[in-house]
Amino acid sequence: MSGRAGEHPCDNGRVRDGPSERGAGLTSLRRYTWWTVPGTTVCLLALFYGDWILDGDVPLWARVPVAAALVADVVASAVLLGRWLTPTPDAEVPLPKGWLVATIAATTVLAALPLARRDYGLWAVAPAVTVAICATYLPPSRRRHLLIGAALLATLPGAAVSLTTGDGELPYATLFPAGLLLFTVWMVLGPLWAWNLAGRLDRARRLEAELAVKDERLRFAADLHDIQGHHLQVIALKSELAARLVEVDPTRAAEEMREVRQLSAEALRDTRAVVRGYRRTTLEDEIANATRVLAAVGIDARTTLLPAAAAPELTPTARHLLGLVMREATTNVLRHSQARHTEVDYRVTDGTARLKVGNDGVDGLPATDGDGTGLHSLGERLRAADGELRWHRDGDRFEIEASLPTDATDTVPPHPANGPVTR
């Protein structure tokens, strides 16, 4: 447990709510901790030393400096503990040196004068409080060393006085101060540990909410990429084809441009559906779309479906993920290959759906090193659903193979909005 920086909780004499605490359930805990730790500490000092100051048997020369030191120690202790109990504990804060010097000086007076009168039950109260306050500002490893060293040192002053005066109270003078110190530390650090833990849990809650928003943005970006990337690639290819045909075959060019118009309308409709959160890519739609698009650019697309792509045992998630694989494979063929033939093989065996897409257009292109970001991100999504995505090159052939349980759950995380694989 360590100190934290932030707005001082007792500005203008009031414990004020931090902005992150409103509605988080921490306000009551912080107020309770404030009154428990600084309040109890101040009461402890005032109760023990107040009775000693009012004792008529104690000479005036001893009571006056103790009274002054008590006021200084109470103020310094309250400030030091208040600095630690901040509304938004987000950063480390050093132990204020000025207030530390003040509390050490006051503690010295509060310990020395009662010890000089052999009051073994009182002299260790102020040092115990000071040690506890200092411990709150230290990390666990250094705090442990401080407490062990302070407990051992607390046995020495009383023992020395008892041995010197021969009053026969050596066990009490030796052990009671050490026990009092450990009890005081436990009383102070316990509520502060609970407060620190609650603050960390609240920060984790806020971080979880922020991550949920970012995940949703990534999901939207991924879905938008899946739609726009594919549609725009097909539109570009068909527009290029129409430009080439406009002089030699105006009728065919007009037909291609009508399809471009239709694709543009589909892209706009799908984009609006993504914004509304309704659209979901499906395998059967992507296989049908791939066959039509590849045929339009002169690629022979052969499909083998065992059983039909609309197999009822597939969950929506399985259909969606395999549809994304089919779309990515089709986009790769259009953008990065010189393919003349493409084979699509889909089948369901033993509760596993397998999709294989191959083409013969690698010849003459740079060898793939498997660094395609689109396939890598899809592979991560399939692995999250207990599936697998592999791709390899064999001569002039490039093949993508995906496998996925038919009962894949709907908890697949979104993938980054990366572009298609570059081969």
pLDDT, tens only, 68-119: 999 998 888 888 887 777 654 445 667 778 888 998 999 999 999 999 888 8
pLDDT, tens only, 324-363: 888 888 888 877 777 888 899 998 888 888 999 998 877 5
CB of 278 within 8 A of CB of 284?
no
CA proximity to 305, closest of 343, 272, 277, 340: 343
pLDDT, tens only, 200-239: 777 776 676 577 667 656 766 776 776 677 777 788 888 8
φ, ψ of residue 377 to 5 degrees: the values are: -65, -40
In which band, very low, low, confident or very high, does the pLDDT at 195 lie, cut at 50, 70 and 90? confident
Contacts 24+ apart (CB under 8 A), 6-11: 6/86, 6/87, 6/88, 6/89, 6/90, 6/91, 6/93, 7/86, 7/87, 7/88, 8/82, 8/83, 8/86, 9/34, 9/82, 9/85, 9/86, 9/87, 10/34, 10/78, 10/82
pLDDT, tens only, 288-315: 878 877 777 778 888 888 765 445 567 8
- Predicted confidence at residue 413, as pLDDT, reads 45
Q: Which helix (H) or strand (E) holds 355?
A: strand 352-359
Tokens 């570059």 correspond to 422
Residues 282-423, CATH architecture: 2-Layer Sandwich (3.30)
| Domain definitions of the chain by residue range | 11-210, 282-423
Mean pLDDT of the chain: 76
Kindly calculate the radius of gyration of the chain based on its CA atoms and give it in whole angstroms. 38
pLDDT, tens only, 242-290: 888 888 888 888 888 888 888 888 877 777 766 655 455 678 878 887 8
Residues of the chain above pLDDT 90, percent? 8
Residue 16 — left, alpha, or beta (φ > 0 → left; ψ -120 to 50 → alpha)?
A: beta
Name the amino acid, one letter, at 96.
P
CA proximity to 91, closest of 17, 200, 232: 200
CB of 206 within 8 A of CB of 20?
yes
- Predicted confidence at residue 279, as pLDDT, reads 52
